[in-house]
Structure formats: structure tokens, C-alpha cells
Amino acid sequence: MTAIKLVITKHEEPRLKPRFPPFRFTVGNLFHPRTSPWSSLAKHKAFTAIALVYVLSVLVIFPFSEYAVNDDWDFITHVRNFSRLDFTKNSLIDSSFVLQGLVGVAWTKLFGLSYPALKVLTVLATVCFLFSVDQVLKLHGKTDFIRFSTLALALFNPFIYPFSFTFMTEPYFLLCLALSYYYLTSYKYKPAPGKLLLAVTFAAASILIRQLGLLLAPAVLLSIGYLDYKRRACYTKHLVISLALIITTAAISFLWPQYNSNNELAMQGLVTQLANPIQLLASIGQLPYVLPYFAFSVLPLAVMVFLLCRPALKILIAAGTAFLFTAFYSVNIFKLGNVLYPEGLLLKNNYLDRLSLFDNIAFKALLCLFVVASMISLAIFFAGKKRLELTNVLPEILLLMALTIPIILYGRFFDRYFVNGLFFFVIITATLLPNKLPIGIKIAGTTSLVFYCLYIFVLAYDFHTYTAIQWAKARTLKQERNLDNELFLSDTYSKYISVYFKPNGPQVDRSMPIGLTYTCYIQRDYTTTGQTIIQQVLSRIETSKTVNVYLANPVIYDAKLTAGFRPPTHDTTKIVNKTPYFSVQDWILGNKAFVVTYCTLR
């Protein structure tokens, strides 16, 4: 008897392809099956965490008042001029700025022209920058721990974080750079003509923000050429379009009208520099003093690298650190200057040495030890990598070199000019670092990361707090005493007050006024309310004759005093106002910080 097998199949209605794909809440990709916002955020844990840390830190500092920190006084001046349909740049601005200025105009049409409004725009740009970097790290297959550490270092870089809530050009340039780098990396793993064009488009857009875009855009195009060479194929038509796009944006930047200018690009200055062997050698001689900035920018990652080394290598690193320590300690570690100093931010002019949490022998010696050890550890780390591993990050190495070497050869540079190279150095180090790390190394790395970020945060908090008070006091004093250029609080304020209220034109040919006699000063000061244990220990080290024989406290290299500047303690009888403010480093030492206004008696 034959068995009959009965098969029952379930009838299913054919599933129709939706005309429009359903959406889900996510920042990166809108075209996915619908899910909850929290599920979406969980896939961006590293970004979400660092974005929350960033926003909370900004709210603590609360920089949303009317003050500038560096060249942003000139940038907001141009936004005002652009909004009045006066698109001619003044003779003082070196940055291309055009794109940032136009975006600023659009923003101020909605929220009004003010420093606070433009600072909010920069905060949003910084958040977008962080998200773009996180997406790149995902493409590289990095773990949440590595991604969070990298994002923290990218954010709390001393040349990024303090400017991330100002209207400086660095955050906007970095956003274009990160977007270009994201599409370049995406093109690397899955080539497509659209990705190629987007990578070049954002790189070309950076030319209209800073002249450094003239280094970035060709480097991106060259990286694409290298990737095409590896896969033995290329999108010729799209490469031609990309080249045309770069040439077009460069032409716009070069031909944009500017008063009293021959429109000489920095690239032309570089060619002139290369033709002068003496100046070229002098520039190359500055190379060793660039290295501490790179070592410092990845310090927590370098701690993990050091702990991964074999005992013999650790002994070698310790010996090398002892050998090189004095060379960098004697020039106060960060010789190049302009923004970062161990004592604080933007202290090149008018800084008065005093015992503080960061201005003492013990702290500087410890910081120098870590920086030099970081340099040597990283050199050994990279030297030990296999050729295949280094080849994998060759586009990043190319971008780093393109954004660093020409600046060194150019000769006339500040420390903040290396911020883009520092960013790629962080990315390269994080990419080469193994995903699987022992728990002890993770704890050490996290601990050092917390101290690193706190250090930069404290420096930024202190600087922005007293700067905001200084500018507020200046506005009040200017009205009360009918002062104009006779009021001194910083070079930035003097430039702003000298230029901002003048109509745009060829007569604006100098930012810093000369030959002035200042009537009033607004400066920082402090008093000791009672020595803490920390202050007692630091003071003993500072005054020890034995210690000073070998490790005298170095001062800011090539520091200057503005003509006519006098510290408040020299004019105590002329003090008209003292405004206390909270300073973390002074509070720890038992000091009380003030912003002091003192004027010549009438």
C-alpha cells in the first residue's frame, strides 16, 4: 500500500514594494525599516555619548555673549558687511572665508547678527563634524571604545574645542574636511562615482573657507587616484569634473574682491619660500618643535600604545625620554605658540608668571615627561607596523602630509595651523590600534583620557570666563568714560574696537592701533585666601634652590608685553572695580580670581 504524503502550504499574499520607503529616526541613514528613536541612537552610542558631553560642557562654559577670542572679530565684521551686500573683503583677512561668511549671513537672517547667534551655528557645525568622524570610524570597523576615545580626542584638541563655540574658521573647515574624508573612505571600501564627486565637492568647498583647502582638495583627488590605481579602474569623466570643480572654487577664492590686496595666495608665498635655501633651512629647523603637538594630541592613545609594548621596549622608551626631556622642557614644551601653552590658552602677550595649578615646575615636568614618552612610544609603534597595515592608511598619511609639510616649509606659521594634520594623526593612530585591548589597558587609557579632556576643558573654561567678563566690563566702561581706543584688555579687543566701527573700505589697512596711551586697563588678578596642601607642596618645589638648578620653571617662549601694559598689582591705588570669577585652577590652590579694572586718575 503506497503512503501518500500530504503537504499543506500556507498561502501568502504577494508583498508589494512600497512606493516610498518608510523612515526611521536616525541621523545617518533615513532609508531603513521603521524603528524607535532609542534603537537608532543605540547604534550611535559613541557619537551620542560624546555629543552629550560636548553640549553639557558648552552649557557649563556658556560662551554665548558678545566677545571674540582671536580673529573671529574680523569674521563677524565680514558677515555684517556681507549682509549689507558689501561683498568686498577688507585687507586684514587672510582666510578665504567666503562660504562661511555666506552661511553666516543666511543664519543671521533667521536669528539676527550677534556673536551668540553665530556661536550657536558653530556648535551645530561641531556636532556635525563629530558625527561625520564617527561614521568614518564605523567604516574602519572600530569598536565603541576606540570610537569614543577618538571622538573625545578629536573634540578636546586644544585647537578645536576652545574654538568650537566661537566664529573661527577652524570648525567649519574641519566639517568640510570630515565630510570629504567620510566619502573618500566610503569610496575606498565601495567605489561609486557619486562618492567620488561628494568627496571632492566638500574638499573644494573648504577652499572657500581657508586657503588650506588648496592643500586638501588636491590631496583628496590624489588619494582617489591611488585607490583607483589599486583596483585597476577609474571613473575618468568624474575625475575630470572633480578637477574642474577644484579649479573653479580656487578661482572664486582668488578672484573674490578684496581691498588693498594683490590677491596673493599662501601657495605663492610657499613657492617663494622654497626658492630661498636659507629661509627653507630655518623652517625645517622648526620641525622638532612641531612633534610635541602631535604627541600631545593622542596622549591617551599613546598611553595604551606604551602599555602594549614589551618590557625591553618600555626600558628603551624611558631612556629616550630621559635623554630628550631637557630639550623640550627648556622651551616650555610648546615652543611654537599662539594658542596652546602649558599655563593656558592664548597667552603669548601680557602673561604674568605666577604660581598656579598649571604654571609650576612639577606640572610642566610631568607633562613634558608624558609628551616626550608619547613621541618615542608612537615612533616605535608605527615602525613596528607591517607594510600592509600602513598601506591601509596610506590615504590618511597622504592627507596628513599634505596638510602639514607645506605649512612647515612655508615658515610663517602658528601652532593652530597644524590642527588638520593633528586630526588625521589621531585617526591614523586609532585605526592602527587593535580593537581588542586588555581591560587593564582600557582602564589606563580611559583614565588618561579623562585627565586629558579635563585639562583642555579647564583651560577653555578659564579663558572664556574671564574673556567674557573683560568684554562686558569694557562695554560698560566705554560708555561711562566715553573711551574708544584708550581702553586695553587684549590685542583682540584693540583690533576689534579699531576696525569694527569703521565703514568697510581701503582705509581699513591696519588692525592693531599704534602710538596709543591707554587710560584704563581690564586685566586678570588673584589673591591668596589660604594655602591648600597642594599649593604648599607646589610652592616648596618652586622655591627649592636644588630643583631650580636643574629644572627652573620655563616661561612662555618669546613672550611679549604690549606697549604700555601694566599688571594690576602695579596700580592698586587706581583700581575702580574688581569682579570675582570662578577659576578651577585657582580654586584648587586656594586662590581667588578677579577681573580688575584700573584707570589713570583724573
Buried b (16+ CB within 10 A) or exposed e, 315-328: eebeebbeebbeeb
Q: Answer whether 238's CB lies under 8 Å from 196's CB.
A: yes
Q: Do 214 and 157 have their domain in common?
A: yes
Grid cell for residue 21: 520607503
User: How far is it, in rounded angstroms, from Cα 383 to Cα 17?
Assistant: 53
**Residue 239 neighbours by CB distance under 10 Å:** 18
| pLDDT tops 60 at residue 484 | yes
Per-residue pLDDT reduced to its tens digit, 376-408: 999 999 999 998 899 999 999 999 999 999 888
Q: Do 482 and 387 have their domain in common?
A: no
Q: Do 189 and 207 have their domain in common?
A: yes
User: How far is it, in rounded angstroms, from Cα 310 to Cα 396?
Assistant: 28
> Would you call 396 helix, strand, or coil by DSSP?
helix
Q: Do 413 and 510 have their domain in common?
A: no
User: How far is it, in rounded angstroms, from Cα 344 to Cα 462?
Assistant: 8
Query: At 524, phi and psi to the nearest 5?
Result: -85, 150
Q: Do 436 and 523 have their domain in common?
A: no
- Is the pTM higher than 0.85? The answer reads yes
Instruction: Kindly give the interhelix angle for 299-308 and 287-297, rounded to the nearest 10 degrees.
Output: 80
Q: In the Cβ-directed half-sphere of 156, how many Cα atoms lie within 13 Å?
A: 29
Q: Is residue 9 part of a domain?
A: no
Cβ neighbors of 545 (< 8 A, separation 6 or more) are none
Most confidently predicted of 231-235, 371-375, 403-407: 371-375
Average pLDDT over residues 431-453: 97
pLDDT score for 17: 44
Q: Rounded to the nearest 5 degrees, what angle is found at the Cα of 423, between the Cα atoms of 231 and 199?
A: 40
Q: Do 479 and 406 have their domain in common?
A: no
Q: Answer whether 422's CB lies under 8 Å from 297's CB.
A: yes
Q: Is residue 75 part of a domain?
A: yes
Q: Answer whether 73's CB lies under 8 Å from 79's CB.
A: no
| CA-closest candidate to residue 74, choices 91, 59, 58, 62 | 91
Per-residue pLDDT reduced to its tens digit, 2-44: 454 444 444 444 444 444 443 343 444 434 444 444 456 667 8
Q: Spell out the SS3 assignment of 439-487.
A: HHHHHHHHHHHHHHHHHHHHHHHHHHHHHHHHHHHHHHHHHHHCCCCCE
Average pLDDT over residues 244-256: 96
Most confidently predicted of 162-166, 354-358, 592-596: 162-166
CA 551, 557, 561, 567 dihedral sign is negative
| CA-closest candidate to residue 281, choices 396, 392, 411, 156 | 411
Q: Do 119 and 266 have their domain in common?
A: yes
| pLDDT tops 60 at residue 118 | yes
Q: Do 271 and 345 have their domain in common?
A: yes
- C-alpha distance from residue 552 to each of 322, 334, 344, 545 (Å): 17, 16, 19, 9
Percent of the chain residues past pLDDT 70, beyond the cut: 88
Q: Is residue 254 part of a domain?
A: yes
User: How far is it, in rounded angstroms, from Cα 84 to Cα 96?
Assistant: 19
Per-residue pLDDT reduced to its tens digit, 68-112: 999 999 999 999 999 999 999 998 898 999 999 999 999 999 999
| CA-closest candidate to residue 78, choices 94, 64, 98 | 98
Domain boundary among 426, 460, 494: 460
Q: Is residue 4 part of a domain?
A: no
User: How far is it, in rounded angstroms, from Cα 471 to Cα 490?
Assistant: 10
Q: Is residue 394 part of a domain?
A: yes
User: How far is it, in rounded angstroms, from Cα 487 to Cα 82?
Assistant: 29
Q: Do 473 and 522 have their domain in common?
A: yes
Q: Do 422 and 534 have their domain in common?
A: no
Q: Is residue 13 part of a domain?
A: no
Burial of residue 42 (CB within 10 Å: 0-12, 13-18, 19+) is exposed
Q: Answer whether 463's CB lies under 8 Å from 70's CB.
A: no
pLDDT band at 269; cut points 50, 70, 90: low
pLDDT score for 559: 84
- Please give the DSSP secondary-structure letter assigned to residue 558: T
User: How far is it, in rounded angstroms, from Cα 325 to Cα 317?
Assistant: 12
Average pLDDT over residues 479-492: 84
| CA-closest candidate to residue 219, choices 382, 484, 420, 362 | 420
Number of domains the chain contains: 2
Q: Is residue 62 part of a domain?
A: yes
Query: At 601, phi and psi to the nearest 5?
Result: -70, 140
Grid cell for residue 523: 586685566
Q: Do 217 and 102 have their domain in common?
A: yes
Q: Answer whether 65's CB lies under 8 Å from 116's CB.
A: yes
Q: Do 559 and 436 have their domain in common?
A: no
| pLDDT tops 50 at residue 448 | yes
Grid cell for residue 602: 583724573
pLDDT score for 411: 73
pLDDT score for 398: 97
| CA-closest candidate to residue 526, choices 342, 352, 341, 361 | 352
Task: Looking at 482-598, list the stretches that DSSP marks H as alpha helix, in order from N- to C-terminal side.
Answer: 491-499, 533-543, 545-551, 584-588
Domain boundary among 402, 428, 460: 460
Q: How high does pLDDT run on average in the chain?
A: 88
Domain boundary among 404, 426, 460: 460
> Would you call 312 helix, strand, or coil by DSSP?
helix
| pLDDT tops 90 at residue 514 | no
Find the domain containing 59 and state its range.
37-460
Q: Is residue 446 part of a domain?
A: yes
- Please give the DSSP secondary-structure letter assigned to residue 140: T
